[in-house]
Amino acid sequence: VKALCLRDGALAVRDIAVPEPGPDEALIRVSMAGICNTDLEIAKGYMGFSGVLGHELCGVVEACSDRRYVGRRVAGEINLACTHCALCRRGLGRHCATRSVMGIVAKDGCFAEYVTLPVRNLHVLPNSLPDELACFVEPTAAAFEVLDQITPMPRDRALVLGDGKLGMLVAQVLLTTGCQVTLAGKHERKLELARALGLTTATQAELEPKSFDIVVDATGSPTGLQQAIGLTRPRGTLVLKSTYHGRLSLDAAPIVIDEITLIGSRCGPFAIAVAALEAGSIDPRPLIDAVLPLHEGVAGFERSAEPGGLKVLLDMRELAAK
Amino acid sequence: VKALCLRDGALAVRDIAVPEPGPDEALIRVSMAGICNTDLEIAKGYMGFSGVLGHELCGVVEACSDRRYVGRRVAGEINLACTHCALCRRGLGRHCATRSVMGIVAKDGCFAEYVTLPVRNLHVLPNSLPDELACFVEPTAAAFEVLDQITPMPRDRALVLGDGKLGMLVAQVLLTTGCQVTLAGKHERKLELARALGLTTATQAELEPKSFDIVVDATGSPTGLQQAIGLTRPRGTLVLKSTYHGRLSLDAAPIVIDEITLIGSRCGPFAIAVAALEAGSIDPRPLIDAVLPLHEGVAGFERSAEPGGLKVLLDMRELAAK
């Protein structure tokens, strides 16, 4: 079967064997999968990963020890936890020290006809949620993680820095709390899409320094953190959502002087994301730039990496139909 | 009168005029003052300051519009707030955007025979607190700021990284909460002093990665933050206490991946510090390396900057006696 693989730093569609599910795993025929900025960074060397890329998926369970899952459409959590270490027992399986991570750490991903995942990682999808939207369950969950970490108040001024895929989702998530949300970015096309979603937008030049109670760095850029620090008010909160390959140069003094709270934020709650996508309170439709077949995966990465690019989905359904 | 001044990057004891107190200010005859790591950084160019250095003081009010203060021994808060901006009205005067800061930003400091401070910045000292300990009110308040920002639980494992003056104070402050505190540093002499204060100590090599619920970076070094990140458990808390001149190179990915909360921490509550020093729950006595007269201030800075050096106090009392 076909899969989009990173091997020795080179990205290509290759033939691989159908993966063998472990005893507690399901074999999933992938329907669609989304390309994330993290995938672009991994292709540049982030995480030192080698194997099948991809971690945002929607698919159908073909084989599973728990028969109730067979034939069901699912999304899948990406962290494969050991379930018995101290962190797992604390309910922090997403932080299990010996975890593998689908398409990121020591576990083949979902840019493939088939992928395997532990049954406990599966979330059955409602029929009303089409495949295109179901691919956004994982990034929407990551956006909702912010609300697991901070509680915006109605009068809080929140800023999302970065008009990319994740920034647009985080801004929509913050908007559900009733706080005042501004999305700032560099791309007029994306800011226009954001306004159509009901968001207030700004260019970075329009932002007043040290004026936001909450700032989310979703720039995906090593320069984003310093910008975000400069826009956070004293004693304000900065949520760091960007991951990228490489080191950044930072003047950390303003964090101390302004007593900023900086919170790293990664994966989030799937069930809430499924519900919000189903209810339409989060609408990722405008974020879809293109749907490409798997064999055009490399082109999909290039398209996704273009300045101003948004979500590219890879479609494996025609492969299943063959 | 004499003062230790930084001018064009050069540190020297110079003759200055007795400062004129403003309408809401007191004129304080300085008894003793402590040299802080921030002073050493300022002397290297941090904050771009020029003027009389020093912000940890104990002195006697000589003149004041509020007569009740005249003749009283006081410590003084270092931030001079405008009192009417949005931050000041929120009770965040220590973060007032137009503040000056004694010995740090646009306000002469206390390494001098006299200093002026707003009356609202003064804290009258109990007679039982000798001058040597009263000089520690400011840094002890900065250490207590940590408890204003986080609430350690009894089973929490806390680590203070850095066996300098501030690290020793922060470790003692954390110990008052009943959590498990380890102080880690490079200097056997200081670790021995810390053990005499009842602290558990470790060398950095002995620390298990990602194992501490709470980590305080008090290294005062640009490399401290990355070390501290690596020692914080997933979803743990890192308090950043270090300020230094210059930028640092950082791999920020672990903050995101491990969802670490990083909190910048600066000045703190004076009243709590005075009470803790009076009660003896914080004991800075072992931290005093030397007490030197003001005219040996430059030597005091050199002494304070030596590896393994702790607190150097400057004594102005003999000047007053002349």
Strands B311-315 and B25-34: antiparallel
> A249 and B248: CB-CB below 8 Å?
yes
Q: For B51-77, b where at least 16 C-beta lie within 10 A, e where not — what string? A: bbbbbbbbbbbbbbeeeebeebbbbbb
Q: In the prediction, which pLDDT does B322 show?
A: 59
Rounded to an integer, what distance in angstroms lies between the CA atom of residue B312 and that of residue B298?
A: 11
Q: Which two tokens stand for residue B40?
A: 């050493």
Check residue A88 and give its pLDDT. 96
B153 touches chain A (CB under 8 A): no
Q: Alpha-carbon distance A195 to B162, whole Å?
A: 48
> Residue type at B25?
E
CA distance B202 to B184: 5
Q: Quick one: pLDDT at residue B319?
A: 81
Do B173 and B183 contact (CB within 8 A), yes or no?
Answer: no
Q: What letter would DSSP give residue B33?
A: E
Q: Give the minimum alpha-carbon distance from B107 to chain A in angstroms, rounded to a whole number.
A: 17
Task: Single out the residue of B63, B77, B61, B76 nearest to residue B29, CA to CA.
Answer: B61
Whether the Cβ atoms of residue B260 and residue B240 lie closer than 8 Å to each other: no
pLDDT at B308: 85
Asked if B139 and B163 count as a contact pair (C-beta separation under 8 A), the reply is no
Measured CA to CA, the distance from residue A28 to residue A18 in angstroms comes to 10
Q: Does A263 touch chain B (CB under 8 A)?
A: yes
B260–A contact, CB cutoff 8 A: yes
pLDDT over 70, % of chain A: 99
Interface test mutation site (partner B, options A263, A265, A267, max chain B beta carbons within 10 A): A263
Q: Does B252 touch chain A (CB under 8 A)?
A: yes
The pLDDT of residue B278 is 98
Structure-block tokens of residue B279: 């009660």
Q: For residue B274, give both structure tokens.
A: 């005075």
DSSP label of A29? E
Q: Pick A255's closest partner by Cβ from B233, B240, B260.
A: B240
Q: Answer whether residue A321 shows pLDDT above 90.
A: no
DSSP B20: P
pLDDT in tens, A161-178: 999 999 999 999 999 999
Instruction: Tally DSSP H helices, then E strands, for chain B.
Output: 11, 19
Tell me the pLDDT tens digit for each residue of A225-272: 999 999 999 999 999 999 877 899 999 999 999 999 999 999 999 999
The residue-averaged pLDDT of A62-71 equals: 96
Q: Which two tokens stand for residue A162?
A: 């970065």
From CA B267, how far away is CA B142, in angstroms rounded?
4
- What confidence score (pLDDT) does residue A225 get? 96
B155 touching A (Cβ < 8 Å): no
At B253 the three-state DSSP class reads helix
Looking at beta carbons, which residues of chain B come within 8 Å of A248? 249-252
Interface probe, candidates B259, B261, B266, chain A, greatest A C-beta count within 10 A: B259
B258: contact with A, CB 8 A cutoff: yes
Would you call B264 and A259 a contact, using CB atoms and an 8 Å cutoff? yes
Q: Tell me if B52 sits within 8 A of B111, measured CB to CB.
A: yes
Q: Closest residue of A to B105, CA-based?
A: A257
- Strands A288-293 and A311-315, sheet pairing: parallel
Q: What is the pLDDT of residue B290?
A: 97
Cβ contacts of residue A203 below 8 Å, gap of 6+?
A184, A185, A186, A191
Q: How far apart are CA A262 and CA A250, in angstroms?
A: 14
- The backbone torsions φ and ψ at residue B33, rounded to the nearest 5 degrees and listed phi first, read -150, 145
- Cross-chain Cβ contact B210/A97 below 8 Å: yes
Residue B245 is classified by DSSP as S
Statement: the pTM of the whole predicted model exceeds 0.90:
yes
For B262, the 3-state DSSP assignment is strand
Cα–Cα distance measured from residue B16 to residue A160, given in angstroms and rounded to the nearest whole number: 50
Q: Which of A240, A252, A263 sits opposite B248 (nearest CB)?
A: A252
Alpha-carbon gap, residue A13 to A294, rounded angstroms: 8
A86 and B CB contact within 8 Å: no
Q: Out of B243, B248, B257, name the one closest to residue A250 (CB).
A: B248
What pLDDT was estimated at residue A299? Answer: 97
Structure tokens at A111: 């840019």
Query: HSE-up of B186 (CA within 13 Å, CB side)?
Result: 9
Say whether A253 and B234 touch across the interface (CB within 8 A): no
Tell whether B290 is within 8 A of chain A (Cβ). Answer: no
Q: What is the pLDDT of residue B243?
A: 82
Which residues of chain A have a CB within 8 Å of the CB of B244? Answer: 253
A320 contact B CB<8A: no
Whole-Å CA distances, B236 to B165, B212, B239, B263: 24, 7, 10, 11
Q: Taking CB atoms and an 8 Å cut-off, how many pairs form between chains A and B?
A: 116
A149 at the B interface (CB within 8 A)? yes
Chain A residues whose beta carbon lies within 8 Å of the beta carbon of residue B263: 259-262
Point out the least confidently predicted range of A8-22, A198-212, B308-322: B308-322
* Other CB atoms within 10 A of residue B192 CB: 12
Mutation for A interface: B215, B225, B232, B257, most A CBs within 10 A: B257
Please name which of B149, B151, B123 lies closest in space to residue B137, comparing C-alpha atoms: B123
Is residue B27 within a helix (H) or strand (E), and if so which, with residue range? strand B25-34
Q: Which residues of chain B have pLDDT under 70?
A: 321-322
Contact residues on chain B for A251, CB-CB shorter than 8 A: 246-248
Residue A176: what are its φ and ψ, rounded to 5°? -65, -20
The count of C-alpha atoms lying within 13 angstroms of the C-alpha of A160, restricted to the half-sphere facing its C-beta, is: 30
A210 touches chain B (CB under 8 A): yes
pLDDT bin (cut points 50, 70, 90) of residue A318 is confident
Residue A211 touches partner B, C-beta closer than 8 Å:
no
Main-chain phi, psi angles of A259, to 5 degrees: 45, 50
Cα–Cα distance, A173 to A184 (Å, whole number): 15
**Nearest alpha-carbon partner for A76 in A55, A95, A91, A93:** A55
C-alpha dist (Å) from residue B262 to A196, A261, B320: 35, 6, 45
Measure the CA–CA gap between B263 and B113, rounded to whole angstroms: 36
Q: Is B227 on the interface with A (CB under 8 A)?
A: no
Taking residue B195's Cβ as centre, other Cβ atoms within 10 Å add up to: 12
**Regarding beta strands A232-240 and A261-264, do their DSSP bridges make them parallel or antiparallel, or are they unpaired?**
parallel
Give A260: exposed, middle or buried? Use CB within 10 Å, 0-12, 13-18, 19+: buried
**Spatial CB neighbours of A157, under 8 Å, sequence gap ≥ 6:** A179, A180, A182, A211, A212, A213, A214
CA distance B5 to B17: 13
